[in-house]
Amino acid sequence: MNRKKILITCLAASMTLSSISFAYADKANKNDKIQNGNQQKIITQIEKKNKSEIKVTKEIVKNKEGNITLYMEIPVIDGLTDVKFQDQINKTINQKAYDLMEEFQREAKLKSVSKSTEMEFYLEFEVKNSHGVLSIVLKNYQYTGGANGENLNYYYNIDIESNRTIQLSDLFKAESNYKLAINGEINRQIAEREKNGEKFDNFKTITNNRQFYIEGEDLVIVFPQYSIGPRTIGIPEFRIPLYQLNDYLKVPISRVEGSVYYNHKYNFQFKIAPIWEDKVYIVESYNNENLEAKIDFVYTPKDSNLMDYRLMSILVMDRDAYYKLSRDNKNNLGYVISETSEYVYIIETYGSNPYIYGSRAYNEYKELSVVIDGVDDLFKLNATKEESKEYKNVKDYKWVMINGKKENLNKDMYVTKNGTLMIPVAKVSKSLGYKVKWDPQKNTVTLDAGKTSTISIGKNQYAFSKALVFLEEEAVVINGTAFVPVSYFEKVLNLEVKINAEGMLTIERR
């Protein structure tokens, strides 16, 4: 089971809840406390099960002979599910350590004419375990004379689930432009560091097998010493938040942004009520018993002596497996809030208020529970590329039916290489009664019909009121016309989008 904890904080968005009544939760397992006042929106913690199962111990080798000092700490991995692979990777790392030591010994003996020069070989390691990737970093220091020693690091990244070593490109979708995104961020960081006096040169681009590791919520790109700058910058590392690369990752990470929790693994979002700010965190559990995923929304009292309890959970279950259950088992899970061709999404609520009647925690828990009865307005499926493929066969890419009226868009719609239908936003929006405003300074398009929606050109995030919705393509401008995915009208503006019997795209109010 893979779990992580997400802290909801710094949320500032108004919510409209439907019916107001009270629902209370049953006791939840105690989770690790999150410190109050921590301003990180997402805190990832490797589930205790993974930590206890996967252990990395060390084999120590040391020797002092004359003026030559040797010291090695060699990692030994235990707890991977594939023992054969585990033995293989341990052997590979062990062999690397001894190869480095033997090469150093040969060089040291050639240079040990003068007994006064102390020669040193140290090899230690660091372990990182985050987002299902176990990273072993071998850190080697060698000195055989001269002004300075040499630092060399070696990186082994292991996909815990599939029991295989991976390279950088394995993290990203095939044919995605992840290199461009990472190069841009590295160049930005280089520019910032050069302002502080650091010197860089020779950086052009990363490669598919660029050295890296994952630590917490960051992808860390690493370069050998001297490869892109002088010795003074050491072994250059560039930390890039994983969420910035979500568009390219094979398995995008979940996050809380603005007032919305986004689960990209299972393509849904959940609006967070302002009263949950700093009081509720999210625990994600994957591959848990018969569930694909379980997302717990957990209340944490200010009194650290009190237990944390779940307010509600979102369950994701394989659709076929769900419909094989008996009626009683379905009812025990909770009620279905949505479903796709693959998954059923279920809301699980709990029993009575778990805290002492009249206490601060009791009253606060009761207040927070009000949100649960508005859950139908808060849960929403994200648009997916598969959903947009049905628009490939639109017969006439210049005409569209808007609220029953055939409109000439003047500009052709088009389908991207990912199968997403892109549509000129201004013409359609005006026909729907929106006021459309272009801001060349901010590079945005704003739609206003009582509630506003802001479209940022070059981004795939679309604002509506104070919420953000992430779609499958970014907004673009072509020859002075702004285009958005057709799913924008359905997923953001909540309009009905379909193909009529004549094969024409139709957009209308629900």
pLDDT at position 384? 52
- What string of pLDDT tens digits covers the 510 residues of the chain? 555 555 554 333 323 222 222 233 333 433 333 333 222 233 333 233 344 478 999 999 999 988 899 999 999 999 999 999 999 999 999 999 999 999 999 988 887 666 678 899 999 999 999 888 999 999 999 998 888 889 999 999 999 989 999 999 999 998 888 999 999 999 999 999 999 999 998 889 998 889 999 998 899 999 998 899 998 899 999 999 988 898 899 888 887 877 889 888 888 999 999 999 889 998 888 777 788 889 999 999 999 899 999 999 999 999 889 989 998 999 899 989 988 888 999 999 988 899 999 999 999 999 999 999 889 889 988 755 444 445 555 545 567 888 888 888 878 888 887 778 899 999 899 999 999 999 999 999 999 988 899 999 998 888 887 677 778 889 999 989 999 999 899 888 888 888 766 667 888 876
β-strand pairing of 268-271 with 476-478: unpaired
C-alpha to C-alpha distance for 486 and 473, rounded to whole angstroms: 10
CATH 3.40.50.300 fits 173-249, yes or no: no
**Distance from the first to the final alpha carbon of the chain:** 40
Nearest to 294 by CA among 322, 266, 273, 275: 266
- pTM to 2 decimal places: 0.58
C-alpha to C-alpha distance for 69 and 149, rounded to whole angstroms: 14
Nearest to 105 by CA among 58, 148, 66, 159: 66
| CB burial string 79-112: b at 16+ within 10 A, e below | ebeeeebbeebbeebeebbeebbeebbeebeeeb
pLDDT at position 122? 97
β-strand pairing of 68-78 with 119-130: parallel
- How is domain 385-508 classified at the architecture level of CATH? 2-Layer Sandwich (3.30)
Ramachandran region of residue 289, left (φ > 0), alpha (ψ -120 to 50) or beta?
left
C-alpha to C-alpha distance for 486 and 357, rounded to whole angstroms: 51
Both structure tokens of 60: 């120590």
- Which letter does DSSP use for residue 328 in this model? H
Domains 55-159 and 385-508 share a fold: no
pLDDT at position 28? 41
User: Is 315 in contact with 30 (CB distance < 8 Å)?
Assistant: no
Which distant-in-sequence residues (6+ apart) come within 8 Å of 482 by Cβ? 424, 425, 426, 438, 445, 455, 457, 475, 476
Which distant-in-sequence residues (6+ apart) come within 8 Å of 481 by Cβ? 411, 424, 426
Task: Output the CA torsion 156→162→164→169 (10° steps).
Answer: -70
pLDDT at position 344? 93
Every domain of the chain and the residues it spans = 2-30+253-381, 55-159, 173-249, 385-508
Q: What is the longest distance spanned by two Cα atoms in the chain? A: 93
pLDDT at position 19? 25
Q: List the strands of the sheet with 444-449, edge to edge.
A: 435-439, 444-449, 451-456, 461-464, 467-470
CATH class given for the domain over 55-159 = alpha beta
pLDDT at position 5? 59
pLDDT at position 32? 33
